[in-house]
Every structure is written in structure tokens, then in C-alpha cells.
Amino acid sequence: MFNTPILRLSTYTRLIRQHQWLSVVLLTLFMGLISIILTGTTSTKAVASSASSLKASANLRFNSYVSNYSRRFTTSSSHSSSSSNSASSAAFGHSSDGSSAVFKYNVAVAFQPKDRDENKLLKSKSKEEPSPTGEDNYFTFAKSDSELACGVADGVGGWNELGYDSSAISRELCKALEKTYAKDNESKLSPKEMLSRAFKQIQEEKIVQVGGTTSCFGTFNADGRLSIANLGDSWCGVFRQTKLIHETRIQTHQFNTPFQLAIIPESILNQQKAGSRFIMDTPRKADEYSFQLQKGDIVVFATDGVIDNIAVQDIELYLDEQEGNPDFQEVASKFVKNVVNLSKDERFPSVFSQELSKLTGQFYSGGKEDDITAVFVKVE
């Protein structure tokens, strides 16, 4: 690509040497030509860079799994993390009109557990009733119209196959996060500190026998600041005028193996096979984000049952269709219903099926049936 201007430079140099009287004219024309070429090259590079960034962002959503298998809670010792613990941030500021406004938040929650084999539920070692949200759980807690904490957690389903309640740890973590936020009267704790205290609480309470969970939640302040802690492959996106402007990155150790907070007794730890290890991440590994919101923004927290099926562009289209709908709860409920329907559609080109096709070199289509939970927050 860059050889052509160099060859042209050599040609013009020889011509100038042979025709000195044309040197000024030729140099002028040559510099103009180079300017046009370089300008075009720069523009091409910018477009390519932008496309590469969009592709990388989309690919992140492909790293959670999967068809009929539950997410894993062990990993081979030869594998390393596929994500970094770096965090994104946005500058804090005022409202869009430059004034110092007090922000308020409207919350809507919707969920649908996947269909499960009743026989497996009966064999569970847990005495708890089946969770209405499946292995997913969520929490919302408002100190006032202008102070809110909410988010989702997703129990790692592999433990259910061994007869344990995979929803227990995500349920108890959400309860502990809610209590931790409620007790923080001055809202001084960061989400990452809240996650650390909440996880320590459920470890000490010993209600959870065994299990692993992801977590993605945030706190909303009166000045419009959204602070997030994310560990694993749940997700949060901020939409402005129906377009995604910020999102969290998923964290995975390897394919279908998300970062996860885990409680595993010694009796089970001693049974792990050589060459593999149980995943027991700590709250310190959670990514932190900070975004400045504006009036009209919509924030979505979702478990991987959402982002394994649909891409961000699908969410943007849905929000665009629903713009102006005064019933915010209906917006959330229809969203989850639509995702559930797509997850059961064998012909739908889901994010998961496309990624599986890429990984295996074979064509796959269809949605990924999973528990689906979403928390919608509208900034007012």
C-alpha cells in the first residue's frame, strides 16, 4: 500500500533532475498528490480502527456458553484468564443542559426461568423451593428516589448436576448486597467494597453449602453517577437515545467458564482431579466502572441468558421501538418475553450459535435456553 507513493517519489525526483525548469511546478503538484493520498490513508485507518473496536466489543459477548451444557466451575490448570481486570470510566459531570440537577430513577424488573426437568429438581440436595428466577437472582433497593442500588447474579449451573442448589449462592449474595447497601447510610462504599463485604457475610453465615455465582450490579447517586462492579459474564449497558454508549466487559477464564465467587467445602476440594482446579475468584477481581448519566438514559443489567441470545444492536432496536411507551414495566416485561421466545427458536441466529459455528467450523443455529433476568433503570 505504501510502495506506490515511494515509487512515485523516485520518478518525480528523476524528472526534476532532468528538467530543472519544471522543479517548482512538479514539487507543488507532487506535494498535493501526497497530501490527498495520506488523507485517504488516514481516513481508511480510522474506519478500520473503528470497525475493529466494534468487532472486539461484539466478540466479548460471545465468550459465554452454551447449548445444553451448564457453565463450568472448574478449569484446566493450563488455561489462563481471557480477560483483564482493567476498568472503564467516564468523567463525572452535570446534566445535559449544564445545570446541577437531582436525578431520579425508575426501576422495572422482569425474569423468566428456563424449563427444567422436574425429576432433577426432586433429586436436589437442597431443601429450598425452586427459585422463581431459576439460577438467576436480582436485587433492587432504593434509599430514596435519587439513591438506588440494583443488579443481577447468576448461579453457575454445573453444581446443579451434582445435586446442589445452584441458585442458593446467587440468592444469598443478592440479599447480602441489599443489606450492605442499606446499612451504608452515607453511601461511602464502592460497589467493589460492597461485593467484598456481602461475600464475606454469606461465607460466615454458612447458609450456602456449595456453589458459584457471577455478579453485576451498580449504585446510582443523586448527581447522576452510576458506579458498577462486575465479576463474571453478566452484563450492564447504558443506552442514550436508544444507542449503547457504555457497557461492561464479561470476564471468563476460558470458554464457558466465567469468573465466579464460590463456596466449596474442603470435602469437595479434596476430590478435584489432577490437572484441574475449582474456580474460586475473589471480589478483588471484579472490574469497576463509573459512568455519568443524563436524563432519559436507560440502564440495563442482564444475566448471560440475555446476551448469549441477542446482540447489543437487537437491544437498541427494541428500545427504539418502545420509545414513548409510558409503561416502563411493560417495556421490561416485553423485552424478557421476546428474548425467551428467541431462546427457544431453533432457527434464530443467536449470538451463541454464531460463536459456536466459529469455534467448531460447523453451522449451528438456534437460541440458547437459559434463565433470563433483566433489571431496567430509567433516568429521570
Q: Summarize pLDDT for 5-55 with one digit per residue, the tens.
A: 222 223 333 333 333 434 434 444 444 444 444 444 333 333 333 333 333
Three-state DSSP class for residue 316: helix
The residue ranking higher by pLDDT, 132 or 359, is 132
Q: Are 300 and 237 in contact (CB under 8 A)?
A: yes
Q: Which residues pair with 216 in a beta bridge?
A: 152, 230
Whats the size of the chain, residue-wise? 380
Residues whose CB is less than 8 angstroms from the CB of residue 350 and which lie 6 or more positions away in sequence, other chains included: 308, 309, 310, 342, 343, 365, 366, 367, 368
Q: What is the pLDDT of residue 70?
A: 55
Three-state DSSP class for residue 85: coil
CA pair distance 319, 326, nearest whole angstrom: 13
List of long-range contacts for 180-184, beta carbons under 8 Å, 24+ apart: 181/141, 181/143, 181/149, 181/219, 182/141, 182/143
Confidence grade of residue 142 (pLDDT, cut at 50, 70, 90): very high
Q: What is the pLDDT of residue 160?
A: 82
Q: What is the pLDDT of residue 277?
A: 83
Angle between helices 3-18 and 23-60 (to 10 degrees): 180
- Residue type for 93, please? G
Residues whose CB is less than 8 angstroms from the CB of residue 167 and which lie 6 or more positions away in sequence, other chains included: 128, 130, 131, 133, 134, 135, 136, 137, 155
CA pair distance 72, 329, nearest whole angstrom: 33
Q: What is the pLDDT of residue 101?
A: 74
- The gap from C-alpha 42 to its chain's centroid, in whole angstroms, comes to 32
Q: What is the pLDDT of residue 359?
A: 84
- Residue type for 363, please? F
Beta strands in 82-189 (DSSP E): 105-112, 136-144, 147-155
Q: Would you say residue 61 has pLDDT above 90?
A: no
- In percent, how much of the chain has pLDDT > 90? 59
Q: Taking residues 53-71, what's their average pLDDT?
A: 36
Render pLDDT for 98-114 as a digit per residue (tens, 0 to 9): 556 799 999 999 999 99
The residue ranking higher by pLDDT, 90 or 98, is 98
Q: Write down the domain spans for the chain.
A: 1-60, 66-379
Q: Taking residues 257-263, what's their average pLDDT?
A: 95
CA pair distance 294, 71, nearest whole angstrom: 36
Q: Would you say residue 299 has pLDDT above 80?
A: yes
Closest CA to 213 of 172, 181, 254, 250: 172
Label the pairing between strands 225-231 and 211-220.
antiparallel
Residues whose CB is less than 8 angstroms from the CB of residue 243 and which lie 6 or more positions away in sequence, other chains included: 316
The residue ranking higher by pLDDT, 256 or 163, is 163
CA pair distance 313, 222, nearest whole angstrom: 30
Q: Are 370 and 84 in contact (CB under 8 A)?
A: no
Q: Which of 40-54, 89-103, 241-255, 263-277 has the lowest mean pLDDT?
A: 40-54
- In percent, how much of the chain has pLDDT > 70? 70
Q: What is the pLDDT of residue 288?
A: 98
User: How many of the other CB atoms lie within 10 Å of CB of 5?
Assistant: 14
pTM over the 0.85 mark: no
Helices (runs of H) and strands (runs of E) counted in the chain: 10, 15
CATH 3.40.50.300 at 66-379, yes or no: no
Average pLDDT, the chain: 78
The residue ranking higher by pLDDT, 162 or 201, is 201
Q: What is the pLDDT of residue 161?
A: 80
Q: Taking residues 207-235, what's their average pLDDT?
A: 97
Q: What is the pLDDT of residue 100?
A: 61
Label the pairing between strands 74-76 and 276-278.
antiparallel
The residue ranking higher by pLDDT, 16 or 347, is 347
CA pair distance 265, 272, nearest whole angstrom: 12
Q: What is the pLDDT of residue 72?
A: 56
Closest CA to 237 of 142, 161, 335: 335
